[in-house]
């Protein structure tokens, strides 16, 4: 690719595997157009990308496979899709390949492009967690990718150690959520008492997570309810909200609640996701004064909503043993990883007890620790949207490869 402006449209291949990737892909296409880039886009995308003129060669659902067993069942189909894409791009070469998330698939496509010596620049958008575990993958990324677009600034620091071209483009959620969370509006949207104080319990979205974590969280509720000192500041004043992302999770949550004493049940409300457009977990967190949640992507939302939090997680003992051998970072939750320090309490495995959750909630709700954490979370939010460090993804690609 030369630095001069091409006389014919650029051919850009993009592959996404889920709705979040479709959203990023559509925004990327719009940004290329806004930068005055004349381009044709094709590959695997969703309805949002197709609405922007994207030519889908395979359905996005083809790649929407999660879990080791599920992937193995569809391995033949996934290989066929990969080989089909590569054959198409060998006969009709693309100038640029952009894999958005779906690293297991997209990084293999990028590597094959290099192996086949196609005249194509390769970009991976949304770094895999190579900085956290299986760090040797960075050498495959270095070979396969000409540029990595990172959602978090610490990811760029990691790639720089290995001389991998990387740019911080920010997280779309950080850009879309305001620096002030409207707690009252969230309560109104959920038809909650505007004067009541709430604690959100988010045990995760998977059946196994709820089975392992919700009972511990419910036991911590019992401890909170016992702490009645007769004052307005008593933790007995709090009500608890549990979001359920679908009917199956709601059924599971209600079954676990049924094992609790009625005095505990009376202080808990399950918020079912009845076809609400907004993210039900985010809405519940917005309405709450504090959050107890599973380690995962929800911790980023809690950070961006500036809510005091306690992070918990439990795995099968063998899975945890294997994972602990592979993880190379001192923290598990995104707030702590981004802050590079223990900003929020992480209660992992044997530490994930009702007593520990209770004690941390006491600190967050009854002392200045909660306010201090809120202030720090706002600072991290500003970092993730800082104008002097963040780059537009399309602009970063254009500048890196001289497309303008």
| Residue of higher predicted confidence among 266 and 246 | 266
* Strand-pair partners of 197: 238
**Is the Cβ–Cβ distance between 90 and 5 less than 8 Å?**
no
Domains and CATH numbers, the chain: 10-170+386-401 (3.40.50.2000), 183-384 (3.40.50.2000)
Strand, coil or helix: 293? strand
SS3 track for 97-165: EEEECCHHHHHHHHHHHHHCCCCCEEEEECCCCCCCECCCHHHHHHHHCCEEEECCHHHHHHHHHCCCC
314-328 per-position pLDDT tens digit: 877 676 666 666 666
Instruction: Round to whole Å and give the CA distance between 179 and 124.
Output: 29
**pLDDT score, position 68:** 41
Please state which of the ranges 27-31, 32-36, 128-132, 152-156 shows the lowest mean pLDDT.
Answer: 128-132
Say how many C-beta atoms besides its own lie within 10 A of residue 124's C-beta. 27
Contacts of 110 (CB under 8 A, 6+ apart): 97, 99, 122, 124, 144, 145
Say if residue 153's pLDDT is above 90. no
Strand, coil or helix: 325? helix
**pLDDT score, position 317:** 67
**pLDDT score, position 203:** 94
Mean pLDDT in residue range 141-152: 96
Mean pLDDT in residue range 151-156: 90
**pLDDT score, position 134:** 75
Residue of 326, 239, 327, 249 whose CA lies nearest to 284: 239
> Which stretch of DSSP H or E encloses residue 55?
strand 55-59
Say what percent of the chain tops pLDDT 90.
64
Contacts of 225 (CB under 8 A, 6+ apart): 235, 236, 263, 264, 267
Mean pLDDT in residue range 335-359: 92
Contacts of 125 (CB under 8 A, 6+ apart): 24, 28, 98, 99, 100, 101, 149, 169, 393
Query: What confidence tier does 130 reach under pLDDT thresholds 50, 70, 90?
Result: confident
Helix%, strand%, coil% for the chain, nearest 5: 50, 15, 35
Mean pLDDT in residue range 354-365: 95
| Residue of higher predicted confidence among 77 and 152 | 152
Q: pTM of the full predicted structure?
A: 0.77
**Is the Cβ–Cβ distance between 90 and 112 less than 8 Å?**
no
159-200 per-position pLDDT tens digit: 999 999 999 998 888 888 998 999 999 999 999 999 999 999
Q: What angle do CA 326, 357, 327 make, to 5 degrees?
A: 5
**Is the Cβ–Cβ distance between 91 and 11 less than 8 Å?**
no
Say if residue 73's pLDDT is above 70. no
**Is the Cβ–Cβ distance between 18 and 60 less than 8 Å?**
yes
**Is the Cβ–Cβ distance between 110 and 97 less than 8 Å?**
yes
**pLDDT score, position 228:** 54
Say if residue 72's pLDDT is above 80. no
DSSP state letter for 327:
B
74-115 per-position pLDDT tens digit: 677 888 999 999 999 999 999 999 999 889 899 999 999 999
Query: What confidence tier does 258 reach under pLDDT thresholds 50, 70, 90?
Result: very high
Residue of 124, 119, 118 whose CA lies nearest to 140: 124
* Strand-pair partners of 40: 11
Burial, 249: exposed, middle or buried (Cβ in 10 Å; 0-12, 13-18, 19+)?
buried
**pLDDT score, position 132:** 67
Per-chain mean pLDDT for the chain: 87
Instruction: Round to whole Å and give the CA distance between 181 and 395.
Output: 30
**pLDDT score, position 230:** 41
């Amino acid at each position: 690719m030369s630095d001069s402006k091409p006389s014919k449209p650029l051919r850009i291949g993009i592959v996404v595997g889920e709705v979040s990737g479709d959203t990023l892909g559509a925004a990327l296409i719009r940004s290329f157009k806004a930068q005055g880039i004349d381009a044709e886009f094709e590959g695997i995308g969703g309805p949002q990308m197709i609405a922007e003129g994207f030519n889908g060669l395979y359905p996005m659902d083809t790649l929407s496979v999660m879990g080791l067993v599920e992937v193995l069942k569809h391995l033949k189909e996934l290989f066929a899709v990969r080989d089909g894409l590569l054959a198409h791009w060998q006969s009709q070469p693309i100038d640029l390949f952009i894999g958005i998330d779906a690293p297991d698939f997209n990084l293999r496509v990028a590597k094959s492009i290099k192996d086949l010596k196609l005249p194509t620049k390769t970009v991976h958008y949304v770094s895999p967690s190579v900085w956290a575990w299986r760090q040797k993958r960075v050498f495959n990324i270095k070979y396969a990718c000409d540029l990595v677009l990172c959602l978090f600034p610490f990811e760029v620091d990691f790639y720089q150690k290995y001389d991998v071209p990387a740019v911080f483009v920010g997280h779309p959620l950080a850009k879309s959520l305001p620096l002030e969370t409207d707690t009252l509006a969230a309560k109104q949207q959920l038809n909650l008492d505007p004067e009541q104080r709430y604690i959100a319990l988010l045990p995760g979205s998977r059946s196994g997570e709820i089975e392992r974590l919700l009972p511990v969280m419910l036991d911590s509720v019992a401890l909170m309810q016992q702490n009645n000192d007769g004052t307005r500041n008593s933790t007995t004043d709090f009500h608890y909200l549990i979001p359920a992302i679908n009917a199956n999770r709601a059924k599971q949550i209600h079954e676990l609640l049924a094992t609790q004493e009625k005095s505990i049940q009376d202080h808990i409300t399950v918020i079912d996701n009845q076809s609400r457009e907004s993210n039900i977990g985010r809405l519940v967190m917005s309405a709450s004064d504090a959050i107890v949640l599973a380690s995962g992507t929800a911790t980023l939302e809690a950070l961006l909503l500036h809510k005091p939090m306690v992070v918990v997680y439990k795995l099968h003992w063998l899975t945890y043993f294997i994972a602990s051998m592979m993880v190379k970072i001192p923290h598990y939750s995104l707030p702590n990883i981004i802050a590079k320090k223990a900003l929020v309490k992480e209660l992992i495995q044997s530490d994930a007890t009702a007593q520990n959750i209770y004690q941390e909630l006491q600190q967050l709700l009854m002392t200045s620790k909660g306010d201090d954490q809120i202030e720090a979370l706002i600072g991290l939010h500003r970092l993730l949207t800082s104008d002097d460090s963040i780059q537009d993804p399309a602009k970063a690609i254009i500048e890196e490869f001289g497309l303008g």
